[in-house]
Amino acid sequence: MKAFILDKYKKRGALRFGDMPEPTLQDDDVLIEIHAAGLNVLDSKIRDGEFKLILPYRPPFALGHDVAGTVVRVGSKVRRFKPGDEVYARPRDGRIGTFAEYIAVNEIDAALKPKNLSMEEAASIPLVGLTAWQALVERAGLKKGQKVLIHAGSGGVGTLAIQLAKHLGATVATTTSTANLELVRSLGADVAIDYTKQEFEKVLSGYDVALNSLGGDTLQKSLSVLGPGGKLISISGPPDPNFAREQGLNWFLQQVTRLLSFGIRSKAKRRGVSYSFLFMRANGDQLGQIASLIEAGIIRPVVDRIFPFEATSEALAYVETGRSRGKVVVKIR
C-alpha cells in the first residue's frame, strides 16, 4: 500500500511517499480502507523527534493520528463492526499511521462515523474531539454555570472545545486573532479576546478552568485568571509526574517530568489551583458520544483546507504555520 513514511527523526524533515506492507490484522482489529486523514501538530512533533523518549516508534513508520474510512475486514474476535461499516478513529499510541491507504485499528478505538458528515469532515474530529472531551468532561468535570478559558479558539482543539463547553452549560472565553473573532463567536464563545489588542490576564478573573495549548508564557499568565480551586489543564506541556506514571515511564523519565513541571505546579499550589498535563488517548466509546452530539447538531467540524493525498507533506507544512482555522485534512480516496 502507498503511505507517507518517516525514515528518520529530523526537525522539519521530509516524509517519503512510498510502499509499505498492508497492516497485519489481530483478532480484535478492524482493517480500515482510509478515505481521509486529519493532520495535527502532534504529527510534526513526532517527526521532529520531540516524543521519541515516551512513544515507542522506530523508523520507518507511517505518520498520522486521525482516520475516517470503511471497514474492509475484521478480526475473529471483533463484535462491534462488520465489513462495509463507515468508521472514524484515533488509533492508539504505538499503532498510528493514517497517512496511508489502510490501517488496522483495535475495535475499541473506533466508532461509527457521524452519519451527517463527509469522510473528510469526520477525519477532522477524532484527536481534537477526544482532547476536548478528556480535558473538559473527564479532567475538569466542567459543569453548568462554570467559567472556562479556552486558548487558541480558532484552532483544531479550540473549535471543538468551545462547542463542547457551551453544550455542558459553561460560560466560555477564548483567545484568538482579529480575523477569527467572528468564527469563535459563531461557535458559542461568550467572551472573545483579540490577543493582538488585549491581554487576557487583565480582562478575565475568577475562572474555574483554563485549557492551554500554547507556550509557557501563556501557561503562566493563565494561572492568574483562575479562582480558588481552579484547574489549569495544558495539552502543550510541561508533562507532570501523573502523566509519567500513566504512561508507565521509567524512574528517570518520571524524575525529568517532575523537574520540568516543578515551577508551574508550585505556582499553581501557591494560588490554590491545580495544574495537570493532558496527553489524550484513543477511546472509541467517547468518539461514539461525540458522534451523537454531531448528529444532533450540537457540535460541527471546522475544516480549513482539504489537500489531495499526494500533497500530505505540503498539508503538514501548512499545519505548522499555525494559521489554519480548525483542521486540515488529506483526501486519500
pLDDT tens profile 317-331: 999 999 899 999 999
CATH code, domain with 232: 3.40.50.720
The mean-pLDDT minimum among 77-91, 240-254, 296-310 falls in: 240-254
Residue 131 domain-assigned (yes or no) = yes
Alpha-carbon distance of 242 to 278, in angstroms, equals: 10
**In contact, 90 and 125? CB cutoff 8 Å:** no
What pLDDT, on the 0 to 100 scale, is given for residue 260?
A: 95
Do 154 and 118 fall into the same domain?
A: no
Percent of the chain with pLDDT over 70: 100
Nearest C-alpha neighbor of 245 from the set 232, 258, 234, 233:
258
- Give the pLDDT mean for 293-313: 98
Interhelix angle 156-167/126-133, nearest 10 degrees = 50
Residue 245 domain-assigned (yes or no) = yes
Predicted confidence (pLDDT) at residue 69 exceeds the cutoff of 90:
yes
**Counting Cβ atoms within 10 Å, is residue 259 exposed (0-12), middle (13-18) or buried (19+)?**
exposed
Do 150 and 184 fall into the same domain?
A: yes
Predicted confidence (pLDDT) at residue 208 exceeds the cutoff of 90:
yes
How confident is residue 312, by pLDDT bands cut at 50, 70 and 90?
Answer: very high
Helix (H), strand (E) at residue 263 = helix 251-270
pLDDT tens profile 229-259: 999 999 998 999 999 999 999 999 999 999 9
Alpha-carbon distance of 116 to 103, in angstroms, equals: 23
Give the mean pLDDT of the chain.
97
How confident is residue 54, by pLDDT bands cut at 50, 70 and 90?
Answer: confident
Predicted confidence (pLDDT) at residue 53 exceeds the cutoff of 90:
no
Do 137 and 243 fall into the same domain?
A: yes
What pLDDT, on the 0 to 100 scale, is given for residue 226?
A: 98
Residue 283 domain-assigned (yes or no) = no
Do 154 and 250 fall into the same domain?
A: yes
pTM: 0.97
Q: Which domain holds residue 319?
A: 2-125+301-331
Do 107 and 166 fall into the same domain?
A: no
pLDDT tens profile 6-48: 999 999 999 999 999 999 999 999 999 999 999 999 999 999 9
Predicted confidence (pLDDT) at residue 304 exceeds the cutoff of 90:
yes
Report, in angstroms and rounded to the nearest whole number, the Rg of the chain calculated over CA atoms. 19
Alpha-carbon distance of 104 to 98, in angstroms, equals: 10
Residue 164 domain-assigned (yes or no) = yes
Residue 252 domain-assigned (yes or no) = yes
What pLDDT, on the 0 to 100 scale, is given for residue 261?
A: 96
What pLDDT, on the 0 to 100 scale, is given for residue 213?
A: 95
Do 120 and 138 fall into the same domain?
A: no
Alpha-carbon distance of 171 to 100, in angstroms, equals: 40
Residue 48 domain-assigned (yes or no) = yes
Which residue reads 483567545 in cell numbers? 175
Predicted confidence (pLDDT) at residue 78 exceeds the cutoff of 90:
yes
Alpha-carbon distance of 291 to 296, in angstroms, equals: 9
Helix (H), strand (E) at residue 161 = helix 156-167
Nearest C-alpha neighbor of 71 from the set 84, 54, 61, 58:
84
Residue 288 domain-assigned (yes or no) = no
Q: Which residues contact 183 (CB under 8 A, 6 or more apart)?
A: 153, 154, 159, 176, 302, 325
Helix (H), strand (E) at residue 229 = strand 226-234
Do 63 and 113 fall into the same domain?
A: yes
pLDDT tens profile 138-193: 999 999 999 999 999 999 999 999 999 999 999 999 999 999 999 999 999 999 99
Side-by-side strand order, sheet with 191-194? 191-194, 171-176, 147-150, 207-212, 226-234, 274-277
Do 23 and 44 fall into the same domain?
A: yes
Do 253 and 169 fall into the same domain?
A: yes
Strand partners, 17: 4
Do 110 and 153 fall into the same domain?
A: no
**Counting Cβ atoms within 10 Å, is residue 43 exposed (0-12), middle (13-18) or buried (19+)?**
buried
CATH code, domain with 99: 3.90.180.10
What pLDDT, on the 0 to 100 scale, is given for residue 207?
A: 98
Do 103 and 32 fall into the same domain?
A: yes
**In contact, 111 and 262? CB cutoff 8 Å:** no
Do 133 and 270 fall into the same domain?
A: yes
- Give the pLDDT mean for 119-134: 98
Residue 27 domain-assigned (yes or no) = yes
Nearest C-alpha neighbor of 124 from the set 37, 35, 45:
37
As for how many domains the chain has, the answer is: 2
